[in-house]
Amino acid sequence: MSENFMVVDFCSSKIVLFLAELGPELKIKNWTPIPVDQDTIRSGQIYNLENVASKIRKGIEETTGKSRYEPADVYIGFSDPEVEFLSSIGMAACGTPDNPSEITEKHLDQAITSSRAVKLEEGRVIVQTIPVRFDVDSKTDIKNPKGMLGVRLEVKSALITAKKSSLLNFKRALEKAGIYAERFAYQPVAEIFELPSEEEKENGILIIDIGRDLTNYGVITENKLQLAETLPVGGIHINKDLKHYFNITIDKAEEIKKKYGQLTFSETEDSEYIDLNMGSMKTNKIKRDLLVKYISERLSEIFEFIKERLIQNDLKDKITFIKITGGTSQIEGIEKLAEKIFNITAEVYTPSREIEKLTGNYDIPVLNSLCSSLAILLFAHRNLTSGVSYSADLSVMKNVKGIFKKMFGK
Ligand SMILES: Nc1ncnc2c1ncn2[C@@H]1O[C@H](COP(=O)(O)OP(=O)(O)O)[C@@H](O)[C@H]1O
Ligand SMILES: [Mg+2]
């Protein structure tokens, strides 16, 4: 019998649980989305641990049908604007110029471990180490250096660092719910690896996932991870803007955003005003062009910020395609706004291809708001099936063994 594994993805508006079977195919056994409010989880951080733990405990019962359940492996998906993405070089000496030796898994581990030897701010830990490119002596950009003869192996790694305290809170919430977890996966990393096709990753792609409180984004060009970050702005900020400008409640703002939110306004097709049906109490009508303006300003701010980050990292001209996803990507015309700002072709991405990859009886709706959780699920499966242990430095554990295997399946 195959072992089960579990994914607990902490989004801003919900926690998503997946129970799946660990085999060559990714078989879903069950799944449960758990809605959470802003007093419970905000901007990627737990604000009410007891509440999170009890919701997860109930979620686990619902997902597994058991009150006590211990899956073999648990992955925690998370996203946090305080995560930092660093590039670092590591190396391993393999032989002498007169006597170059064969590069083994041990050398790869050594090089990757040395790339992790960076000085971090107090309280910060490396959550994920992703080898991005290898060089052996004068040969650069080698996909798989194992077995080659060389003197000096160099690796460029992407390091994802996060605040230890926020990771420990996720871990604690799960422990209180009865499950032990030590594997973390940062949502933008999982999304940029799992959502695009191989061709898109080669040609250069930017993925933007706009959720409730946060926006995740990641870049891969020439099949190499270039950037993965989180911005503390999301759909809730549109609601706050609409509340402020139209003098309406947050709930009404959410409602009209979903119902009428759009980024193109046609004077000939659309009526000038939207009737809010609120009686005579408060604002009863809002101007449609103003709604477009306010939504557009907030989304432009997000896109402009990301564009600036691309320019700073010399990536802007290396991207040929943008995929926009997350709940907020459902605002009509969002891809047109992105195209205008980035001057790159953009599309709204719905995860039907990811869902097709899953087998099992549990129908998962094709929703943009599930993209990060599906990406974490696929990422976890890929990691586990290639036999990798993927731990954050929460204790003394520094486990990089097998990372190479995970990356290339070799
Ligand atoms: N049809 C819609 N139009 C505009 N915004 C939407 C729509 N549906 C959901 N949203 C927004 O999407 C956000 C939630 O996105 P989601 O990806 O589920 O969040 P998270 O991943 O942060 O939990 C909310 O701000 C919600 O208002
Ligand atoms: Mg989301």
The domain locations on the chain are 84-162+397-408, 196-350
pLDDT attached to residue 257? 96
Average pLDDT value for residue range 370-379: 95
Cα 78 to ligand 2 centre (Å): 11
For the segment 169-185, what is each residue's pLDDT rounded down to a tens digit?
Answer: 999 999 999 999 989 99
Q: What is the DSSP string of 54-94?
A: HHHHHHHHHHHS-SS---SEEEEEE--TT-EEEEEEEEEE-
pLDDT attached to residue 66? 85
At 407, is the pLDDT very low, low, confident or very high (cuts 50, 70, 90)? Answer: very low
CA pair distance 107, 153, nearest whole angstrom: 8
For the segment 202-234, what is each residue's pLDDT rounded down to a tens digit?
Answer: 999 999 999 999 999 999 999 999 999 999 999
% residues pLDDT > 70 (the chain):
91
pLDDT attached to residue 356? 87
Cα 373 to ligand 2 centre (Å): 8
pLDDT attached to residue 388? 52
At 373, is the pLDDT very low, low, confident or very high (cuts 50, 70, 90)? Answer: very high
Would you tell me which CATH number, out of the four given (3.40.1450.10, 3.30.1490.110, 3.30.830.10, 3.90.1200.10), belongs to the domain 84-162+397-408?
Answer: 3.30.1490.110
Q: Which ligand is located closest to the Cα atom of residue 16?
A: 1
At 252, is the pLDDT very low, low, confident or very high (cuts 50, 70, 90)? Answer: very high
Nearest C-alpha to atom 6 of ligand 1 is from which residue?
328
Ligand 1 environment, Cβ below 6 A: 11-14, 211-214, 234-236, 254, 257-258, 261, 326-328, 330-331, 369, 372
Lowest-pLDDT choice from 94-108, 213-227, 325-339: 94-108
CB-CB neighbours of 408 under 10 Å: 12
| C-alpha 296 chain-centroid distance | 24
At 400, is the pLDDT very low, low, confident or very high (cuts 50, 70, 90)? Answer: very low
Cα 328 to ligand 1 centre (Å): 4
Average pLDDT value for residue range 35-43: 95
Residue 392 has pLDDT above 60, yes or no: no
Nearest C-alpha to atom 1 of ligand 1 is from which residue?
258
Average pLDDT value for residue range 101-129: 94
Q: Which ligand 1 atom lies nearest to the CA of residue 214?
A: 22
The reply to whether the predicted model has a pTM over 0.95 is no
pLDDT attached to residue 2? 72
Q: Could you tell me which residue, 309 or 65, shows the higher pLDDT?
A: 309
pLDDT attached to residue 65? 87
12, 13, 214, best to mutate for ligand 1 pocket (most atoms within 8 Å of CB): 13
pLDDT attached to residue 67? 79
Q: 285 with 169: CB under 8 angstroms?
A: no
CATH 3.30.420.40 corresponds to the domain 196-350? yes
Q: Which ligand is located closest to the Cα atom of residue 371?
A: 2
Average pLDDT value for residue range 130-142: 93
pLDDT attached to residue 236? 97
Q: Which ligand 1 atom lies nearest to the CA of residue 212?
A: 25
Nearest C-alpha to atom 5 of ligand 1 is from which residue?
328
pLDDT attached to residue 410? 31
Nearest C-alpha to atom 20 of ligand 1 is from which residue?
211
Reduced to 3 states (helix: H, G, I; strand: E, B; else coil), residue 280 is coil
pLDDT attached to residue 71? 82
CA pair distance 121, 163, nearest whole angstrom: 9
% residues pLDDT > 90 (the chain):
77
Residue 242 has pLDDT above 70, yes or no: yes
Residue 28 has pLDDT above 70, yes or no: yes
Helix (H) / strand (E) element for 101: namely: strand 101-102
pLDDT attached to residue 405? 40
For the segment 347-360, what is each residue's pLDDT rounded down to a tens digit?
Answer: 999 999 889 888 87
pLDDT attached to residue 389? 45
Lowest-pLDDT choice from 158-172, 210-224, 256-270: 256-270
Cα 86 to ligand 2 centre (Å): 24
**How many Cα atoms sit within 13 Å of 337 on the Cβ side?**
24
210, 212, 368, best to mutate for ligand 1 pocket (most atoms within 8 Å of CB): 212
**How many Cα atoms sit within 13 Å of 36 on the Cβ side?**
33
Q: Which ligand is located closest to the Cα atom of residue 195?
A: 2
Q: Could you tell me which residue, 386 or 300, shows the higher pLDDT?
A: 300
Cα 101 to ligand 2 centre (Å): 47
Cα 29 to ligand 2 centre (Å): 22
Cα 356 to ligand 2 centre (Å): 19
Listed residues: CB within 5 A of ion ligand 2: 11, 211, 326, 369, 372
Sequence-distant (6+) residues with CB within 8 A of 269 are none
Sequence-distant (6+) residues with CB within 8 A of 158 are 85, 86, 87, 128, 129, 130, 132, 225, 228
For the segment 273-297, what is each residue's pLDDT rounded down to a tens digit?
Answer: 888 876 655 567 899 999 999 999 9
pLDDT attached to residue 274? 86
Residue 78 has pLDDT above 50, yes or no: yes
Average pLDDT value for residue range 333-361: 92
